[in-house]
Structure 1
Amino acid sequence: MVEVKFYDSIDDKLLKFAVIISKTNGKWIFCKHRERDTYEVPGGHRESGEDILSVAKRELMEETGATDFTIKPICVYSVKGKTRVSESIDDETFGMLFYADVFSFEEIHSEIEKILITDNLVKNWTYPLIQPKLIEEAKNRGYL
């Protein structure tokens, strides 16, 4: 089982991921990885020396082609349990959840095959036990 928790803040060193709930003109933005048939919210791993806001901006640009956008942090989240990135049911990994409004795009140059811009949430999630909960938390906190 996967457990998702939310926090207002945490030690920055623990943040391993940035996930960016994104919209353009009021529509959702989702990504489709080349190796999967599912959709996900843009996001990714923190690289050595990066601050978490830089991770969010880089991942948003790489995965959606966003060139002009506003971005703001929502909250810290954690995932505990066996996932694609964690083999142990006891591992708890932390990330920062962001919200972005995207105003313009360019061609994508990454592992992302395409983006989907839609009025509705997707049904075929890459991370169905995690990302819908992140969106729900963003709604609860007044970001959506």
Structure 2
Amino acid sequence: MLKVNFYNDIEDSQLKFAVIVSKHQGKWVLCKHKNRNTYECPGGRREQGEAIWATARRELYEETGARDYAIQQICIYSVCGNDGAIENNTESYGMLYYSDIKEFDKLPDFEIEKVEFFDQLPDNWTYPEIQPVLLQRVEAYLQHR
């Protein structure tokens, strides 16, 4: 079982991932990977030497084609546990962002098959123990800003 934790501060070098919970015209923006039948938030792994904010912007473009958007840092999150993909209890850290996407370019030809827009969040998540928790955190942020 996986556990998601939230933090206000951590050493930058520990941040390995960026996840960008996004909306467009009031609808949730989710990606469908070419090799899966599930949905996920845009996001991915930080490249060597890349600032975490640059990871978020790169992944948002690569996975949605977002061209014009506002992006806000929400908080640091971590995932630990064992679900078959994460094989030990080592904590992995990432930065959680929220983006309001105003305009899209053509979806780049990488790993994402398509982008879909949702009024209600789907049940078939790629990472069902992680993504709904991150979305709840962003929803709470949006309600209190």
TM-score (norm 2): 0.94
The aligned length equals 143
Q: After TM superposition, list the pairs within 5 Å mapping 1:49-68 onto structure 2.
A: 49-68=49-68
Q: After TM superposition, list the pairs within 5 Å mapping 1:13-92 onto structure 2.
A: 13-83=13-83, 85-88=85-88, 90-92=89-91
Q: Structure 1: how far apart are the matches of 2:59 and 2:91?
A: 22
Contact 1:29 1:115 in 2 (8 A): yes
Q: Hey, which bits of structure 1, 4+ residues long, moved more than 6 A?
A: none
Aligned-residue RMSD, C-alpha? 1.4
Distance change in 2, residues 1:85/1:95 (3 Å): farther
Query: Which amino acid is 1:18 matched to?
Result: A
Point out the more displaced range, 101-110 or 35-44: 101-110
Corresponding residue of 2:124: 124
Query: Which amino acid is 1:79 matched to?
Result: V
Runs of 5+ unmatched residues, structure 1: none
Superposed displacement of residue 13, structure 1: 0.4
Question: Secondary structure at 2:40's aligned position in 1?
Answer: coil
Question: Secondary structure at 1:142's aligned position in 2?
Answer: helix
Q: Structure 1: how far apart are the matches of 2:63 and 2:84?
A: 19
Corresponding residue of 2:99: 100
Q: Structure 2: how far apart are the matches of 1:23 and 1:143?
A: 14
Point out the more displaced range, 134-143 or 27-36: 134-143
Distance change in 2, residues 1:69/1:132 (3 Å): same
Distance change in 2, residues 1:27/1:84 (3 Å): farther
Query: Which amino acid is 1:107 matched to?
Result: K
Contact 1:99 1:143 in 2 (8 A): no
- Determine what percentage of the aligned residue pairs are the same residue: 50
Question: Secondary structure at 1:141's aligned position in 2?
Answer: helix
Is 1:111 the counterpart of 2:119 in the alignment? no
Distance change in 2, residues 1:63/1:3 (3 Å): same
Question: Secondary structure at 1:53's aligned position in 2?
Answer: helix
Superposed displacement of residue 108, structure 1: 1.3
Question: Secondary structure at 2:39's aligned position in 1?
Answer: coil
Contact 1:3 1:80 in 2 (8 A): yes
Superposed displacement of residue 83, structure 1: 4.1
Superposed displacement of residue 53, structure 1: 0.4
